[in-house]
Structure 1
Amino acid sequence: MSLDNLTEHEKLFFDDGYRLGEQAAAAKSDEKAFLNCVQDAYLAIDGLIDSILAMAQKQDISVDCKKGCAFCCHQAVYANSYELHFLGNFINQNFSAEQKEQAKTLAHEKNKITSGLSDEDVLHYKSPCPLLKENACSAYRARPMACRIYLSMKLESCVEFYRHPDKPDNFPLLLDFPLTAGRMMNEGFIAALKKADIEVAEFRLEDGLEGVLTHGAKL
């Protein structure tokens, strides 16, 4: 990715992610410190989104996302390896053995289907996230960046996309700024890790989740 083509705001978020990625790379041998850097990236985005939501409310701009609305939790989600490491660590610390086994089973069942689909068909496929329980995320505090920055301005657009995902030009009406901020922060984090020769890969959530719950999370 060329940094020359970034806007001022994109560059700021990229730089923030890069700084945290540098800290994470320096702490590679210290798992807790490494994961704290991932958490700091999440907290920075969460704080930004809280500010956006407060401003939206003052300006009477609708943001329809709320607990119990889970249309987006049935679509494709991708996460980086360090995000899956963070997620796996959270699950190991907070889930019972039964809950972990159930999440692994659900991830395996979904992965069996999506692994055989084309990239386009994966984007159209609708199935609940393995971590979705009673229309809420059971690992909410550790959810990947892609989940955090997905803010809908119109519930009906989410419903329509859920029901007719293959309809041309049919996409949820999302706030652009959180999407850009989160994506650029992840890009910066990844760039710093790669500069330090730390491999980063992207996975479908169910694929990566099955991996970390089966083989353990590793740096």
Structure 2
Amino acid sequence: MNDFFQQTAQAEFQKASQQLPGAKQFQTALTQSFKRYDNLIAKTIAESPTKPACQAGCAFCCYYKVEVRAHEMLNIKDYLHKQLSAENIQQIIQEAEQNAVVIRSITPEQHLTTNLKCPLLHNNQCSVYPVRPYRCRNFHATDAKACEQSFADPANMDIATGMIETVALAADAHSQGFEAAIEQKGLDARIYDFNTALLEVLADESCLKRYLRGKKTFQTALEVS
């Protein structure tokens, strides 16, 4: 692990820890962390001679296997209820239910090579883009054609979509720094499958209570080891 990674992770850990005096501040701390992340990644990209190929409307990566932390999913739930209609949320639930049936019938390895449209993807745009989880934020590609090829042939793990090493390091370090602060506060730092966690958070009002008490937030969602 290089100095840049350690320094970036430690800096975010310290800032996030200061903004997390208690469990109830997790959303404010996460919002501020996202802002710092966006500034960090923009600066890192600007300093790189190679640029990401990602463009608005390109959504091949929105069919990949996605993992989420409890604080991210609770944040997404609030955003959905504030920004989307009950009808739109019901459509999201139906799509997540269809995905969950598939996910629960295959292995995690098979999931990696199976295209499943994110239920939050609408008209090739993320409907929760401002609060999308770190796993989604941290993905970038330098070869748009390879992304299309990977989408068309998801079982071919040899297709390289490319990445900018400094951007990848900065992204991972920052997100890990925030997650370490969450764990230090005694909050749930487990990793969950996105679709099954989304279904549970929208159906069970007790998720937030369990999270604030430092308990396992999701009882039925698949936990990623």
For residue 37 of structure 1, what is the amino acid of its counterpart? A
For residue 3 of structure 2, what is the amino acid of its counterpart? E
**Aligned partner (choices 8, 12, 19) of residue 13 of structure 1:** 8
> Is 1:101 the equivalent of 2:90?
yes
What does the per-residue CA deviation read over 1:137-185, in whole Å, with 9 as the maximum and x for residues that have no partner? 0111010111112121110111111112222422321223232222222
Asked if the contact 1:154–1:172 (Cα under 8 Å) also holds between the matched residues in 2, the reply is: yes
Give 1:86's aligned residue: 75
For residue 35 of structure 2, what is the amino acid of its counterpart? L
Q: Specify the SS of the correspondent of 1:79.
A: strand
**In structure 2, C-alpha distance between the alignment counterparts of 1:211 and 1:34, rounded to whole Å:** 19
Give 2:38's aligned residue: 46
Asked if the contact 1:78–1:202 (Cα under 8 Å) also holds between the matched residues in 2, the reply is: yes
**In structure 2, C-alpha distance between the alignment counterparts of 1:34 and 1:156, rounded to whole Å:** 38
> Is 1:156 the equivalent of 2:145?
yes
> What does residue range 167-178 of structure 1 map to in structure 2 within 5 Å?
167-178=156-167
Gap change, CA 1:154 and 1:195, over 3 Å in 2: same
> Is 1:211 the equivalent of 2:206?
no
For residue 42 of structure 1, what is the amino acid of its counterpart? F
> What does residue range 63-212 of structure 1 map to in structure 2 within 5 Å?
63-212=52-201
Q: Specify the SS of the correspondent of 1:26.
A: coil
For residue 199 of structure 2, what is the amino acid of its counterpart? E
Q: Using the aligned pairs only, state the percent identity.
A: 22
Shift of 1:132: 0.3
* RMSD between aligned residues: 1.8
> Is 1:23 the equivalent of 2:18?
yes
- TM-score w.r.t. the length of structure 2 is 0.84
Asked if the contact 2:26–2:71 (Cα under 8 Å) also holds between the matched residues in 1, the reply is: no
Shift of 1:39: 1.2
Q: Specify the SS of the correspondent of 1:169.
A: coil
**In structure 2, C-alpha distance between the alignment counterparts of 1:88 and 1:103, rounded to whole Å:** 12
Shift of 1:51: 2.2
- TM-score w.r.t. the length of structure 1 is 0.87
Runs of 4+ in 1 over 6 A off after TM superposition: none
| Consecutive unaligned residues in structure 1, runs of 5 or more | 1-5
Worse overlay, 199-208 or 184-193: 184-193
Shift of 1:24: 5.0
Q: Specify the SS of the correspondent of 2:188.
A: coil
Asked if the contact 1:157–1:172 (Cα under 8 Å) also holds between the matched residues in 2, the reply is: yes
Asked if the contact 1:114–1:122 (Cα under 8 Å) also holds between the matched residues in 2, the reply is: yes
**In structure 2, C-alpha distance between the alignment counterparts of 1:167 and 1:193, rounded to whole Å:** 36
Give 1:35's aligned residue: 27
**In structure 2, C-alpha distance between the alignment counterparts of 1:113 and 1:184, rounded to whole Å:** 32
